């Protein structure tokens, strides 16, 4: 649903920009760093919108790349933590098993002493 709303808003914005550009068709003077030219205002408006969209898209792609790298880093950290937790759990089970064996041996020894 979110994608549909984004598409609708994008189309509405494109229509508004197109109407605005078509209304402004007179030639304007554009100063470059290296020269001057006469361009129709419609091309200046559409060119500016296109450059803005490219810049916003590039920044968005950069942010997505950064977030994907962070997700990968956090997944690796989670896997390392899970491995460490499993290792500690196994060590605790081994230790509990050894202490249980010791306790059983002590009980047998004590019952032998009582019997004698």
With bands split at pLDDT 50, 70 and 90, how would you rate the model's confidence at 36? very high
Interaxial angle between packed helices 41-115 and 2-23, expressed in degrees from 0 to 180 and rounded to the nearest 10: 160
**82-92 residue pLDDT tens:** 999 888 888 88
pLDDT, position 10: 85
* Domain count along the chain: 1
Q: pTM higher than 0.85, yes or no?
A: no
What pLDDT was estimated at residue 112? 62
Q: When comparing pLDDT for 96 and 74, which is higher? A: 74
Q: Identify the pLDDT of residue 25.
A: 81
Domain that holds residue 60: 2-115
């Amino acid at each position: 649903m979110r994608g549909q709303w984004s598409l609708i808003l994008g189309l509405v914005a494109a229509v508004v920009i197109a109407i605005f550009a078509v209304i402004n068709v007179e030639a304007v003077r554009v100063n470059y760093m290296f020269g001057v030219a006469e361009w129709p205002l419609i091309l200046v408006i559409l060119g500016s919108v296109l450059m803005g969209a490219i810049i916003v898209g590039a920044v968005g792609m950069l942010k997505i790349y950064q977030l994907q790298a962070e997700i990968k880093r956090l997944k690796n950290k989670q896997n390392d933590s899970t491995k460490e937790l499993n290792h500690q759990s196994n060590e605790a089970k081994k230790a509990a098993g050894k202490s249980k064996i010791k306790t059983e041996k002590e009980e047998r020894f004590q019952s032998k002493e009582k019997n004698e």
